[in-house]
Amino acid sequence: MIRSAAIIACCLLIFRVACFGEERKAVGPLISREEFFASLDYSVPGLEAVQRQVQENDYEEAAQALLDYMRSRRTVKYFVNSWERTSPKPGYDTSKADDILNGIPHGMLVDWYPRFRFEGQIQWDASPFRDREWHWGLNRHDQWDILSQAYWGTGDEKYARRFVEELTDWIKTRPVVTDGTHNSSASWRTIEAGIRMSNSWPAAWQRFLTSPNFTPEANLLYLMSLVDHARHLERNPTGGNWLTMEMNGLLHVAVLFPEFKESVRWRAKALETLHGELDRQVYPDGMQFELSTGYHQVALDNFLRPARLCALNGIALPEGYLSRLERMYDAIMHLIKPSGFLPATNDSDAAIENVFGKGKWADGRRNLKDAAVRYNRSDLLFVATNGKEGTLPNETSHAFPYAGFYVMRQGWTIDSLYLVFDAGPFGAGHQHEDKLSFEAYAYGETLLFDPGRFSYADPVFHPYALSTA
């Protein structure tokens, strides 16, 4: 009886760890306070007060001086900036932010699953649905962007307090993984590290920067973790669309925080790598070499966002960067279905169009309007606006000689006939056994479609989606 009880207890413990994470330990960040202050470039104007306090070994006052400096700084720009805050908006929808206060996380990947509530503190390596995509999504910290938007929308400090609690908890309990297993961890895959650094972290920092609840200690922890992130990304580059996200994140740290001595090197590495990957990953016909329309747009976003950030801050791009990017938009324009969505080649998401009816990655129009302005392209504008603006593209049917996609279309109206045929190479990283497959669209509906990736975690249908007929 005792032995049986012990076995049951062990099984329950194993199940708990598998679903809800390991016991918590406060061991982060990796960089020490002293090392962090030594990593700053005190030749940057405005850091004199910080340097004086460091020289006197008064790190509390140094942290206060650093926060004061960051709050007054106007020399660096992000896509949202602390000094651009507007008055609270009556009736602002705080439903998702209030869920987060009650332990129910939200975010791009998290919201693909049923709602889940943490009882007590967040377990950052939890996997309540036995699908690691969920906790990888959790560790992209989209919920912090949501909290920060609610803070600006309402002015309510409860959202700032929650952010500081979660930020502090995550940094202290999720230190950098340094033993080479980071890309199988819940928190430190390089893809998540890159995404955090270019999206949720800088957005939340900008919106919460002037909150009285964003203390000198919270700001110091945040900046210390940025150094940990940048060094991690610099040391552990991978390839494919992951590499674009890693270098996008590294570039954001470097550009947004030139106060770090290493930022000059980080910026050079990120831009050089991204520039090289535009040639290595993108075929002459414009398709990204994974031959997934979904990951084509992921890579495009992570090539484009650095260009936009550099433009905001007066930083020159490598020669030819933007012209190489243009061909990726051409590929989208020629592949797009009359509905405005893209065919679900390789690991793409057919369900976004066919089940949810709308979606970020399958909608090919979302980037074309911006590109039409950037490149002065009236044909891109025509497709982006469903023909309301711009001029018709020069051709209807189009061949991709490198990607092996062949598109036949009747015209550019929503009820036009359309067929795309896959006769190309295997692709890289997100391949399916789909050669000679096709999608057919007519009279406003996709009639035959590629099922895409389904779910990476599904043991039955994901292999089925990958295989041939």
Q: Where do the structural domains in the chain lie, given as residue ranges? A: 1-30+74-236, 239-469
CB of 340 within 8 A of CB of 365? yes
> Do 1-30+74-236 and 239-469 share a fold?
yes
366 pLDDT tier (thresholds 50, 70, 90): confident
* pTM, entire model: 0.89
Instruction: Give the CA distances from residue 227 to residues 78, 189, 220, 257, 411, in Å, rounded to whole numbers and listed in that order.
Output: 18, 16, 11, 10, 52
> Mean pLDDT lowest for which of 69-83, 281-295, 358-372?
358-372
pLDDT (0 to 100) of residue 3: 52
pLDDT of 162 over the 90 cut? yes
- Which pLDDT belongs to residue 317? 97
Percent of the chain with pLDDT over 70: 84
Between 9 and 400, the more confident residue is: 400
Query: Any idea which fold 239-469 has?
Result: Glycosyltransferase (1.50.10)
* Confidence label for 355 from pLDDT (cuts 50, 70 and 90): very low
Q: Which residue has the higher pLDDT, 372 or 344?
A: 372
Q: Which pLDDT belongs to residue 5?
A: 47
Q: What is the gyration radius of the CA atoms in the chain, in angstroms?
A: 24
The mean pLDDT of 368-386, rounded to a whole number, is 95
Mean pLDDT along residues 235-263: 97
Of 102-111, 123-132, 258-267, 434-443, the one with minimum mean pLDDT is 434-443
User: Which of the four pLDDT bands, split at 50, 70 and 90, describes residue 16?
Assistant: very low
Q: What is the mean pLDDT of the chain?
A: 88
**Higher-confidence residue: 318 or 458?**
318
Query: What is the predicted pLDDT for the residue at 228?
Result: 98
Please determine, for residue 427, whether its predicted confidence score (pLDDT) is greater than 70: no
- Alpha-carbon gap, residue 149 to 393, rounded angstroms: 39
Where is mean pLDDT largest: 287-296, 337-346, 370-379? 370-379
Q: Domain 1-30+74-236 classified CATH 3.40.30.10?
A: no
Per-residue confidence band for 79, with pLDDT thresholds at 50, 70 and 90? very high
Of residues 351 and 439, more confidently modeled: 439
